[in-house]
A and B are shown apart, each in its own frame.
Chain A
Amino acid sequence: MLILSSEKTDNPARIERTYYLISENIRIDGREREDYRPMEIETDVVSHAFGSSRLRLANTDVLVAVKIEVDAPYPERPLEGKLEFFVDCSANATPEFEGRGGEELAVELSNCLSSAYRSEEVFNLKKLCIMKGRKCWKLYVDILLLEVGGNLFDAVSIAVKAALWNTQIPKIKSINVDGSNIDIQVCDDIFSCTKLDVTGAPLMVTVCKIGDKCIVDPNAAEEQCSVGAVVVAVSRGNICTISQTGTGSFHPDTFKSCLILGISVAQRLEDSLTETLGEIKANQDVGFLK
């Protein structure tokens, strides 16, 4: 099991009200304002998928699987493949998600992901093109929320990045064009695959405003205390999407400091994620049985 933590977590735990504690730079679970909770990440957990990952951030549990299909590119973007995000809020997480209850949250998450991945600088869809204007790969990134313990945006973005890192795209052996019919032959060797370039894949950091201070990685209780949060998606040190959640408003100066905090935290997160993904060995025991 690999533990991924971005900061020191050895602060003394004190039991006080969240609000008061945050101004003292000690949080209810003993963390400092910029500390993350411990995370566990596994890859290759879904055998039906081309790439998958499972992330557990304290009580938040996210399962991501990438499936690949052959599709026709958009007529206005003949050179690009397709990338689609689908978030499913499982009722296992909370009864409120039963039926279509989790749809609003799911749409918010998938919108944020797709706008973060939209720029070519972030994720190059041109690599997914098989034949100009005719055939391309379509990546379905399916995200399943199994447990919700706060800070979904961060957890989902990390899990998505890990799943894309894990994704293997089959190599094409030959393309036969016969009028409007296109026959694609995929390489027989299941081990000859190309990996995706995910160095630019964004990580999202939720900066939560409580009182007049900002914290990262809020747990469920802290999310309740806060009136609003800024979600900053960072790719290679640049910001690729900023969005706000909640109903609160920010003073421009507070907002700017949130962005600065978000970028620096994302950088740390990025470093430890790359390190952790590098350490993952093949064929290790994964899943829910541990």
Chain B
Amino acid sequence: MSRKKELISNIGLRLDGRRAGELRRIRCKLGVFSEPDGSAYIEQGLTKVLAAVYGPHQVRGGRSKAQHDSAIVNCQFSMAVFSTGERKRRPRGDRKSTEMSIHLHQALVAAIKVELYPWTQIDVYVEVLHADGGIYPACVNAATLALIDAGIPLKEYVCACTASLANDDIPMIDISHQEEVMGGPTLTVAALPMSKKVVLLEMSQRFHVDHLPKVLKTALQGCVDIKNILDVTVSNNVKEIGSSTRWGNMT
């Protein structure tokens, strides 16, 4: 009997009962707060993330940072101390949070039309309320929604998704915390799903390079699927806001 539990059982179900290519349930909402210019809340399975966007506004603290041809995108990732099973010491400022902030910045800059707002700054703050695997994708998706809520022009949606390789053969999508802990490689992809551009690719552990194309394809498919789900929420939101001002009430 092998010590390592199989990530996918022989009838093709994962630990939480999903199939290999099945995403966890995504629920999201735009405009949860009134103070920020844009805000959004997303639940991917049990992972819960809040995002807020401020700006574009004048560059804060030291004008020297301002750029003449584009807006500065300032990201801060922070995790509530109670978001993990074991209580965290600090909500931010540790290595992991800083790395997350940088990765988030990388993904968002690719999507935002920064050239429209020279000499300005856009702040994106994400707060993880509950961590259950796939924190980074949830943060990127929440930030995208918050940016849309703030009315900041985007080239297109930027979505992120994780994928892994189960039983050394089957690619599976949207890795939960349980699956992360069980071991197995995790490939994180942030992409512009419509133009099929990858903006960030990160990988932990290893698998044979032959597997890469199919895992990557699975992850990209996940990004497209997520985009479609977000799209429904966004258009519903627009309809709702539109109907109150009588201009979006077309159908």
Interface residues of A (CB under 8 A from B): 46-49, 52, 59, 61, 63, 65, 67, 69, 86, 88, 90-95, 98-100, 140, 142, 144, 146-149, 287-289
Chain A residues with CB below 8 A from B39, complex form: 92
12 A-B residue pairs with Cβ-Cβ distance under 8 Å, sorted by A, are: A47-B46, A65-B80, A88-B81, A90-B91, A91-B76, A92-B39, A92-B51, A92-B125, A95-B125, A144-B80, A146-B33, A288-B32
Chain B residues with CB below 8 A from A91, complex form: 52, 76, 78, 123, 125, 127
The listed residue with most B CB atoms (<10 A of its CB), out of A69, A91, A140, A287, is A91
Number of residue pairs A-B, CB distance < 8 angstroms: 91
Chain A residues with CB below 8 A from B4, complex form: none
Q: Mark B26-64, 1 if CB is under 8 A from A, else 0.
A: 011100111110010101001010111010000010000
Docked pose: A46 CA to B33 CA in angstroms: 19
Chain A residues with CB below 8 A from B87, complex form: 67, 69, 140, 142
Q: Judging by beta carbons under 8 Å apart, are A289 and B130 in contact?
A: no
Chain B residues with CB below 8 A from A149, complex form: 35
Chain A residues with CB below 8 A from B48, complex form: 287-288
Q: Judging by beta carbons under 8 Å apart, are B80 and A98 in contact?
A: no
B129 CB within 8 Å of chain A: yes
Q: Judging by beta carbons under 8 Å apart, are A48 and B29 in contact?
A: no
Chain A residues with CB below 8 A from B82, complex form: 46, 48-49, 52, 65, 67, 140, 142, 144
Docked pose: A95 CA to B39 CA in angstroms: 13
Minimum-distance CB pairs A-B, first 10: A65-B82, A92-B52, A91-B125, A288-B41, A67-B87, A142-B81, A88-B91, A142-B82, A90-B127, A147-B33
Q: Judging by beta carbons under 8 Å apart, are B54 and A93 in contact?
A: no
Q: Judging by beta carbons under 8 Å apart, are A289 and B35 in contact?
A: no
Q: Judging by beta carbons under 8 Å apart, are A86 and B60 in contact?
A: no
On whether A90 and B35 interact (CB within 8 A), knowing A47-B130, A95-B123, the answer reads no
B85 CB within 8 Å of chain A: yes
Q: Judging by beta carbons under 8 Å apart, are B41 and A92 in contact?
A: no
Within the complex, which residue of A46, A47, A86, A288 is in contact with B50, where a contact is CB–CB below 8 Å?
Answer: A288
Docked pose: A149 CA to B34 CA in angstroms: 10
Nearest A residue to B131 via CB reads A48
Q: Judging by beta carbons under 8 Å apart, are B127 and A146 in contact?
A: yes
